């Protein structure tokens, strides 16, 4: 079943067509890789599917609903979460607080509106809700084997754990679909290995994953299907084996990586 689909999605910045009539499709329950050279339009495609940017043309469908041009917070509430190419943590908050903030992104002010009619009732309710958010955040940290770091400041975590903490925060919004932009960037081989097992565990929870990544070992090992972008256009899509042996992909991207 298709969970997300774009139709001729296009984003031009002046004369630069960063994403050019891309038909991208994501199957529910799978790990989909999005690869291609730097500047190919991968992050722009993510931004235009998650409400961080507005397409110049084309459509985005999530569970068959047209979400083209919806704002990021609305898309988040519908069940799509993401991480960014560069770390965006609250470095002076604790690890567990960073995850709790993820949950607040989703429930946020609109659900609390109207509760202040009865201040005491609100206070009790919010305290209980806060406790639930805390417990849920705590269990996500256990999922990442990060429980022992929960009261550390985010900035004191090793680099690989900081990157995983961002994923934990995205998961705290309880998404159906998770977008990861270069999750392994800057990680050492051990950290990448751990990340791979985590991404598989996320998929096994039934959460659909789409990831941009340059680490071909990670991509070829964990992706069920791969889409290749080049100069803003879709160059190929297929299984890791098909992509690895596709002459056009080798020419545009894979061959050059090895050189
Ligand atoms: N906000 C922007 N304004 C102008 N040009 C942009 C903007 N964002 C991306 N681009 C351009 O779009 C192209 C694709 O960029 P990007 O999506 O970041 O590529 P990738 O993630 O594949 O490396 C690049 O040429 C980049 O310079
Ligand atoms: Mg990018």
Residues 17 and 132 both lie in one domain: no
Same domain, 179 and 258: yes
| Residue whose C-alpha is closest to residue 165's, from 191, 134, 144, 186 | 144
pLDDT surpassing 70 at residue 111? no
- Whole-number pLDDT of residue 93: 95
- Same domain assignment for residues 9 and 56: yes
Closest CA to 217 of 184, 252, 180: 184
Instruction: Give the mutation target among 9, 10, 13 for probing the ligand 1 site: most ligand atoms within 8 A of CB.
Output: 13
Q: What is the pLDDT of residues 178-230, one digit of tens each?
A: 999 999 999 999 999 999 999 999 999 999 999 999 999 999 999 999 999 99
Tokens of 177: 């679909």
Is the distance from CB of 96 to CB of 130 less than 8 angstroms? no
> What confidence category does residue 104 fall into, taking pLDDT thresholds of 50, 70 and 90?
confident
Q: Identify the CATH number of the domain in which residue 148 sits.
A: 3.40.50.300
- What is the number of helices (H) and of strands (E) in the chain? 10, 11
Using the predicted structure, report yes or no on whether residue 251 has a pLDDT greater than 80. Answer: yes
Q: Does 240 lie in the same domain as 123?
A: no
Q: Which residue, 118, 144, 173, sits at the end of a domain?
A: 173
Structure confidence at residue 129 as a pLDDT band (50, 70, 90): confident
Q: Is the CB of 38 under 6 A from ligand 1?
A: yes
Per the structure, the count of domains in the chain is 2
The pLDDT value recorded for residue 87 is 83
Asked whether the predicted pLDDT for residue 68 surpasses 60, the reply is: yes
Cα of 193 from ligand 1 centre, angstroms = 29
If asked whether residues 147 and 27 sit together in one domain, one would say: no
As a dihedral over the C-alpha atoms of residue 239, residue 242, residue 247, residue 250, rounded to 10 degrees, the angle is 50
Range of 215's domain?
A: 1-79+175-259
Dihedral, CA atoms, 208, 30, 194, 102, nearest 10 degrees?
0
**Domain finish residue from 120, 151, 173:** 173
């Amino acid at each position: 079943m298709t969970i997300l689909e774009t139709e001729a999605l296009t984003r031009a910045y002046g004369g630069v067509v960063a994403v050019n009539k891309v038909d991208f499709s994501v199957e529910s329950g799978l790990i989909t890789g999005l690869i291609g050279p730097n500047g190919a339009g991968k992050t722009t495609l993510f931004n235009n599917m998650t409400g961080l940017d507005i397409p110049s043309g084309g459509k985005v469908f999530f569970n068959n609903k047209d979400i083209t041009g919806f704002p990021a917070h609305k898309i988040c509430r519908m069940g799509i979460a993401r991480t960014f190419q560069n770390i965006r943590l609250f470095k002076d908050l604790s690890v567990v607080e960073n995850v709790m903030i993820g949950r607040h992104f989703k429930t946020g002010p609109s659900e609390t509106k109207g509760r202040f009619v009865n201040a005491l009732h609100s206070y009790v309710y919010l305290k209980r809700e806060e406790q639930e958010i805390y417990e849920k955040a705590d269990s996500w940290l256990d999922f990442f084997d990060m429980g022992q770091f929960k009261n550390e400041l985010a900035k004191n975590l090793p680099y690989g754990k900081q990157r995983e903490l961002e994923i934990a925060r995205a998961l705290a919004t309880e998404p159906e679909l998770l977008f990861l932009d270069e999750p392994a960037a800057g990680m050492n081989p051990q950290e990448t290995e751990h990340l791979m097992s985590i991404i598989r565990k996320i998929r096994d929870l039934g959460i659909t994953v789409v990831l941009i990544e340059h680490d071909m070992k990670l991509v070829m090992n964990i992706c069920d299907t791969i889409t290749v972008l080049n100069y803003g256009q879709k160059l190929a899509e297929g299984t890791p084996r098909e992509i690895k042996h596709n002459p056009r992909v080798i020419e545009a991207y894979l061959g050059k990586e090895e050189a």
